Structure 1
Amino acid sequence: MTEIARRPFDGAEEQAIAKDFAALSARHTAWLEGRGLTSRPWFILGSAPDPHVPEPFPARTAHIHVKYAGHAARQHGLPPGDLTFLLTKTKPEDIAGLELRAVLRLCKRHSPLTRIRRDLPFLRAKECALTDRERDAFIIGTLGTLFGGSGDEIRPSNGVALIAYAIAVGIPQIIVAGISLDSDGYAYDRSARTRRHLAEDRAALAVVAERYPQVTTTEPGLSRATGIPLLASVAAG
């Protein structure tokens, strides 16, 4: 059964999903600390066409890539991702030529190995698993709901999930680029593809704008649609 055919979670189900949010956030914060990523600004790059790249970047910016956005980063002369959010179904050809310094990988459930990597962050494992349920817990824990019923999907996109993740682990400054609510296709593949999660992303990002001033965007269209403020250097330009 596809996600489109599933009913949205109700409030009690969402509360059950997010009940371990604090402990989950602490475990991932510890893993990120081992990678030197928690005290730095994050530049979260999605794969929407024509991303707006800030100039200059804040000092010590960590480059965070949603799925295959590393290809778009290369097109714009940006460094490899310090953290890349990938799926279990990611194929080698999807990430061919990309340098993956650390990977947050979405999966159905934890294996014994992924539990060890998660629970013993001092191992400084290059890869950390995030289950589907844990991804949902990060969204609910920071934004209050999965926004099911806003549109045809039962949750926002993985780009929004990564913003919620960054908020949950205490990243001090979060800059969002390459996320769009009005353009199809991808920066590295201009083939027309209908973008999903639009209603859910719009609703979720409006809550981000209301609650989390540390989140800004370089995308004027995204700012207008959601209320997330433009990065100061972009607004001044």
Structure 2
Amino acid sequence: MRRASRMATGCGLLLAAVLGVHADDFWRRKPPSEWTVDEALQILKNSPWTKQESVAAPSVNCDPEDYDEYGNCRDTRFQFPRNPPRRREVPESNFNIAIYLVRWESAPEVAAAFARLEALGERASAVFQSPPPRRPADRYVITMNVAQPAKGSGDPFALREDNKGKKPVRLKTSRGTFAPLETERSGVGANEAVHFFFPRVQGGKPVLDAKGDTAEFVFEGARVTVKCKFSLDKETLQ
């Protein structure tokens, strides 16, 4: 359990690592028209607006040969192999790690990265990054897709049913906790994603402080819980 906890890295730690590695902040010193393909992809895959969250999912007892191409167990009625050498292939502790990518689509830099890929003739690369179908002016859009599914996870976007009255998907800010007004899925296979549309204003008041705010995205799935924090400056919130 301790090892699994260490392997489940929080978004806050990942953000610190990202800022350390990419200290040059090319998006601050170069206009989008000068971004390379790799730089545009970095915005969409590993930046202050895009986080990768590793979470520990429940272990699955499965014969190593019974996993399908998607990592799901064909037969969960696990039995140890009769062949003694193959028994040693079965791990004593089956750590089951899923990696989710969460992106704040409403950041100007994110929209610019998708546009830059299109301008460079990299439409296929842009589509593979699961762009949102739309960006309404009155919504904050968050995209979540799966970089590495958990073994035996089934639908990685299935919501937890027993959430004790809490909203299974929510955005926590200094102004309160808010549920998405709309949810939309897109893509298939590796670029399948779910897009959450949160209100910019609720009850006549902005859900985020326009001077800068921290927003925590929470997704309580059927098998895993994903939590991710975004530090948003006033330029991002425009």
Normalising by structure 1, what TM-score?
0.23
Higher share of residues assigned strand:
2
Larger Rg: 2
Higher share of residues assigned helix:
1
Structure having greater relative contact order (Cα 8 Å, sep ≥ 6): 1
Normalising by structure 2, what TM-score?
0.23
